[in-house]
Structure 1
């Protein structure tokens, strides 16, 4: 086989990471849930502080000209169909989408799965620290005259997310927005299919609109959640292991021909 020259190195096809194993992933998730409950217990009685912090967030938004959540919800309340759609997005567009996306990534794109999982763990850890030190009541609990449209209009929410599994004062940052953004980034990284790329863009945008109009988050929450997870995505990506090879680059389809080429040497 003649020596192949050039600057670029031979790279195996994408997703050379071995298929992830279920039990270690379950152990990681159990540990994450345990950490969540510890923080939830620490902030459960912080109602007064959470409301004060919420009014500080509103004050910041007023100063920046960003406080429009009551007006946006008023518009949604006048359109029952849109209100129902947003409620469904809040319920079905977060944990069910995250679970399905992670399963798909673990089976088909394990390298992207690991990046998405680690991004969620890092951003979730940072989020837990913020939830414990700076609890913020969402608009629906801050005395702003806004309605919790999800709980009022969609009973499935309390089935999928019972009160004992939720932190009422974890508005800042919005991991609803942040983790949907992570799923969008992961889908875009794993697939070049036009439909999936459209889903990758639509998913976080739809969640931003949803959390603002259903009285679950503030504009600043959404910005903070998106910023946090984007930075974590970039940070995790920069620490991915690099595989070193001594041969130059070949197209993906030529990998199957390597044994035949080796016989020509």
Structure 2
């Protein structure tokens, strides 16, 4: 529980800093235009098309909203408690990866404020705010930054959680959940107009960097443990 409390404190600090790094609207919109232009050149400007497919359908829209809302913090919390109780090494790896990627994400939030699609005059609808109030309870406005679209740590952290679930799973069902969770989140953050495709890619990259650092730390712990055991009489 002490480790879980440390993670909770780190997450609270992350959102506290993020909430107080609100970028200037004009700068965030200018960056949005840059991202939109780059996506068009790369042929991956899929945000309007994806929302046009999802938003008119109440069932698909609700599914996207639920994945975005309930597939993030509730899933992260339950997974970390489970790992801390039954799979300590995987818990430590996930903890370290989230802290490292979160710290890198804060640097990007501060240096590159970015308006999400829902605020970038793309004609897209904020399906979360328009159709659900749950998210405002799980993540109060005081801890949010409207111009922190890059990177999408919804996608990045769900990838880390999915990897941890897949690694710890003893059943096919859990492995499928671990594999599908980050895919659904990647689609949901774009369909709800909260992130660009490039935000998702950036979130994944930072998550994988965090995971690489966490695995090095894990190897260091193992070496130190072996040396301690060898030194014992």
TM-score by length of 1: 0.80
How far the C-alpha of 1:232 sits from its partner, in A, is 1.4
What aligned pairs does 1:53-202 form with structure 2 within 5 A after superposition?
A: 53-202=31-180
CA distance in 2 between counterparts of 1:35 and 1:151 reads: 23
- Name the residue aligned to 2:211: 233
How far the C-alpha of 1:145 sits from its partner, in A, is 0.8
The answer for unaligned runs of 5 or more in structure 2 is 228-233
Question: Which structure is larger by alpha-carbon Rg, 1 or 2?
Answer: 1
CA contact (8 A) 2:101 2:207 kept: yes
The answer for unaligned runs of 5 or more in structure 1 is 1-21, 246-265
Change in 2 beyond 3 A, CA 1:180/1:95: same
CA distance in 1 between counterparts of 2:185 and 2:165 reads: 16
CA distance in 1 between counterparts of 2:75 and 2:216 reads: 26
Change in 2 beyond 3 A, CA 1:150/1:32: closer
CA distance in 1 between counterparts of 2:116 and 2:85 reads: 36
CA contact (8 A) 1:50 1:137 kept: yes
| Deviation digits for residues 22-69 of structure 1 (CA, Å, limit 9, x no counterpart) | 2454245324423432342132x5211111111111111011011011
Higher share of residues assigned helix: 2
CA distance in 2 between counterparts of 1:61 and 1:27 reads: 38
CA distance in 1 between counterparts of 2:14 and 2:61 reads: 33
CA contact (8 A) 2:35 2:198 kept: yes
Q: 1:244 aligns with which of 221, 226, 229?
A: 226
Partner SS, residue 244 of structure 1 = helix
- Name the residue aligned to 2:20: 41
Partner SS, residue 170 of structure 1 = coil
User: Once superposed, what is the RMSD of the aligned Cα atoms?
Assistant: 1.6
- Name the residue aligned to 1:221: 199
CA distance in 2 between counterparts of 1:231 and 1:192 reads: 26
Partner SS, residue 122 of structure 1 = helix
CA distance in 2 between counterparts of 1:164 and 1:39 reads: 10
Question: How many pairs does the alignment contain?
Answer: 223
Change in 2 beyond 3 A, CA 1:117/1:31: closer
TM-score by length of 2: 0.90
